[in-house]
A = this chain, B = another copy of it.
Amino acid sequence: MTEIEKTLENKGVRPTAMRILIYKYLAEKEVAIALTDMENAFSKADRTTLYRTLKTFEEKRIVHQIDDGTNISKYALCEPGCNCEMEQDLHLHFHCDNCDETVCLTEHKIPHINLPDGYVAENANLVIKGICDKCSGQ
């Protein structure tokens, strides 16, 4: 049993061949992945399967969904031991307007915000837009 299979089982997801492939794909990309990206990468697999796999992964905290302002949902693997919902694990994301890629900046946590009376914060999403290191480097 491989590392990935163990990981999936620990999270309560049956490690099917398809899911292992999808997990590997997400692991080797360092950018957030949209459903369309997956469709292109797995032309043999059905869109629905990819869609539902991502939803399952999200539900089981294997990936987190990223909303980078493009109105296209993207996904990235959670860090080992991450609790995406906890305030201390909420990192920010960077979207490059040039190459259109979105990356997790896991080291950069979202600062705590004091809200007006009556507002109860449960989650937060911070996206910085601009030019990424690869595109600005040249």
**A contact face: mostly helix, strand, loop, or mixed:** strand
> 6 closest pairs, A vs B, by CB?
A118-B133, A122-B130, A123-B129, A120-B131, A121-B130, A126-B126
Binds B, one of A18-26, A35-43, A56-64, A67-75: A67-75
In the assembled complex, the Cα of A69 lies from the Cα of B110 at a distance in Å of 16
Is there contact, CB below 8 Å, between A105 and B97?
Answer: no
A101–chain B nearest beta-carbon distance, Å: 12
Q: Which residue from chain B places its CB closest to the CB of A107 in the assembled complex?
A: B116
Interface residue? A111 (CB, 8 A): yes
Tell yes or no: A132 within 8 A of B by CB. yes
Nearest CB in chain B: distance from A39 CB, A: 18
CA gap between A94 and B115 in the complex, in Å: 9
